[in-house]
């Protein structure tokens, strides 16, 4: 079989034989075959794959490690990660995520400039970059134990394993997307709730499909919150700042994130999407800058350089929910709690860490 296909294999610039594992890059400037763990070798490998979402790949000169710059229709990915199995999927992932972000809205928003992503191979590279990139705020971001952050219109992460890396890229990518395209920043429950819809994905034929119903991490957290009777009341949840939840403790943090995830799904899915139009109006108000807020709140909503205060989250979160979704919190909460219980009915906590 191999003999009959020898000619077909020989024309490939890069070959992957799983089992060996043997990876060969194309020739470098000297005419010799470049190793796959070098930027030249990885660039040759990616080009040979003919990835449909990859428009170009070139060296990235930086002080953190040998790197590459991958360009797609909407992204520029700067990376020191030379893992072929992950890196070959990155172009398809970011473009699939971009398309999924757009689907949150009833109409498309225009991207005039490409979005930037920094993907590092090692934590130390990420740390060193963050100390420069984040400036005086670096100590805050360096507290992140394992994950990513979005700052200055860029998403910054490092390799924490294939599934986890794509999960945080999907999450932080949403924050990056709405910071770029929305005139007003979203209340925390809404911003985080939507971001968690992109933590679970499925790969097929070079692209990714996002399915929030498969986010078992958040579903498990929601079931635990219900089981412990630690659910945050709806009127409190929509005005809560995640920092407040973190200071209260692990149960509150888990409740805030899992409930926000469930609340976004509730608005989109419950009763065959009964509240979907209202949900879309809420988001388009942020895109267009037409939210019914006070002048002071509008200033905080529009200027990302102003820290999002606890007071803003409480005032804006509550007012927007009442304006777009409804004021009968008792009735809405009853429907929401029933929806949450349906979501986790088949979730087995034995599989949760």
Positions of E strands within 20-94:
22-27, 33-35, 56-60, 67-71, 75-79
Alpha carbon distance, N-terminus to C-terminus of the chain: 45
Contact status, residue 82 vs residue 57, Cβ threshold 8 Å: no
Looking only at the bridges linking them, the beta strands covering 115-120 and 154-158 are parallel
Residue 273 CA to residue 279 CA, distance in Å, equals: 10
Edge-to-edge strand list for the sheet holding 22-27: 15-17, 22-27, 33-35
Contact status, residue 35 vs residue 41, Cβ threshold 8 Å: yes
Q: Which fold has domain 51-181?
A: Glutaredoxin (3.40.30)
Q: Nearest-CA neighbor of 253 among 263, 241, 238, 269?
A: 241
Question: Where do the CATH 3.40.30.160 domains begin and end in the chain?
Answer: 51-181
pLDDT in tens, the chain (353 residues): 434 444 333 333 333 323 323 344 555 544 455 688 899 999 999 999 999 999 999 999 999 999 999 999 999 999 999 999 999 999 999 999 999 999 999 999 988 899 999 999 999 999 999 999 999 999 999 999 888 999 999 999 999 999 999 999 999 999 999 999 999 999 999 999 999 999 999 999 899 999 999 999 999 999 999 999 999 999 999 999 988 998 999 999 999 999 999 999 999 999 999 999 999 999 999 999 999 999 999 999 999 888 787 888 988 999 999 999 999 999 999 999 999 999 999 898 875 44
| Chain centre distance of CA 52 | 21
Q: Is 327 exposed, middle or buried (0-12, 13-18, 19+ CB in 10 A)?
A: exposed
The Cα angle at residue 85 between residues 80 and 88, in degrees rounded to 5:
70
**SS3 assignment, position 251:** helix
**In this structure, what token pair is assigned to residue 33?**
């075959």
Place of tokens 């002080």: 63
């Amino acid at each position: 079989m191999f003999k009959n296909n020898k000619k077909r294999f020989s024309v490939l610039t890069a070959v992957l034989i799983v089992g060996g594992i043997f990876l060969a890059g194309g020739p470098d400037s000297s005419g010799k075959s470049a190793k796959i763990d070098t930027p030249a070798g990885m660039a040759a490998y990616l080009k040979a794959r003919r990835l449909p979402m990859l428009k170009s790949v070139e060296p990235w000169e930086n002080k953190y490690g040998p790197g590459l710059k991958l360009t797609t229709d909407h992204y520029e990915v700067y990376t020191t990660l030379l893992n072929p199995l992950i890196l070959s999927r990155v172009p398809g992932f970011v473009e699939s995520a971009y398309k999924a972000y757009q689907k949150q809205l009833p109409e498309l928003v225009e991207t005039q400039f490409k979005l930037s992503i920094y993907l590092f191979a090692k934590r130390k590279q990420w740390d060193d970059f963050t100390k420069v990139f984040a400036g005086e705020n670096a100590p805050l971001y360096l507290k992140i134990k394992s994950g990513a952050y979005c700052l200055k219109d860029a998403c910054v992460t490092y390799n924490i394993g294939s599934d986890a890396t794509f999960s945080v890229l999907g999450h932080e990518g949403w924050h990056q997307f709405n910071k770029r395209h929305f005139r007003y920043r979203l209340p925390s429950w809404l911003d985080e709730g939507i971001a968690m819809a992109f933590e679970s994905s499925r790969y097929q034929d070079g692209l990714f499909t996002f399915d929030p119903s498969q986010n078992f991490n958040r579903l498990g957290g929601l079931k635990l919150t219900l089981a412990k009777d630690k659910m945050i009341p709806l009127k409190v949840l929509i005005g809560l700042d995640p920092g407040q939840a973190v200071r209260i403790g692990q149960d509150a943090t888990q409740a805030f994130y899992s409930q926000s995830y469930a609340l976004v799904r509730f608005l989109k899915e419950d009763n065959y999407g009964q509240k979907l139009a209202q949900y879309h109006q809420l988001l388009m108000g942020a895109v267009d800058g037409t939210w019914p807020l006070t002048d002071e709140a509008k200033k905080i909503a529009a200027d990302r350089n102003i820290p999002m205060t606890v007071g803003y989250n409480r005032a804006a979160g509550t007012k927007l929910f009442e304006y777009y979704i409804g004021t009968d919190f008792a009735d809405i909460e009853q429907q929401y709690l029933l929806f949450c219980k349906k979501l986790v009915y088949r979730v087995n906590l034995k599989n949760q860490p």
